Structure 1
């Protein structure tokens, strides 16, 4: 029943006082700029400004930037934003699998909330349909940061 309580608790989506960094991949920047905008707007709606916004070349560089940020120990959550569109080669699978695994490794290694907003799509139309993933990531980052604080016995708001 505790899980249901946390899910229904509006305080779990209160971003005030949280330090959340966003990392945007520039590859397919016309998509990732919109993901970043969606994420930032939702974070503000929830009560926080991004603590940092960084830009990296592509999805494969996202985990390294997240790792460097997580090592600092001063952030509550991280958000990775990118877009990988399938091409004609196996490179799509490599980039998708490697970036997703790297993002997850950072979260587990450092015990920090990391929201994975890397779109992996067949074409640009699918990417545009999923722009709200930025806002979803903002909510996931806030909720997981609050959950971590709750489980550590810290004040959540």
Structure 2
């Protein structure tokens, strides 16, 4: 049985201007992963999120669940998936965290690096480009990727 990833990139545009505690500094859905064609390469899912991790990567973001302050759009899409299929492996990661990653780190075998499986030369490039652009506009801590799996 295959594993499919779903999710959205979110940003909090007014937090940089008014501060994170301002009532208008809420998260907004920016782009659905479906539109960015990430594919479901299991080595990348293992590296990034710990899903199907027979590769031995130390996951960057595993099992954090849905953010408490997720945007209404993310909550709506996620709720419809819960009713339909019962997603698992729900987690999230910020651009600030991704920007600090050692992309040369390898799996247990030492054969695959993070960059090789999920770096800028892979199907993940469009995701990283969108997140980087939003981070330049709104700050790296105000951009995140929220994902779940079917």
Question: Considering the TM-score relative to the shorter chain, is it more than 0.5?
Answer: no
- TM-score with structure 1 setting the length: 0.30
TM-score, L = length of structure 2: 0.31
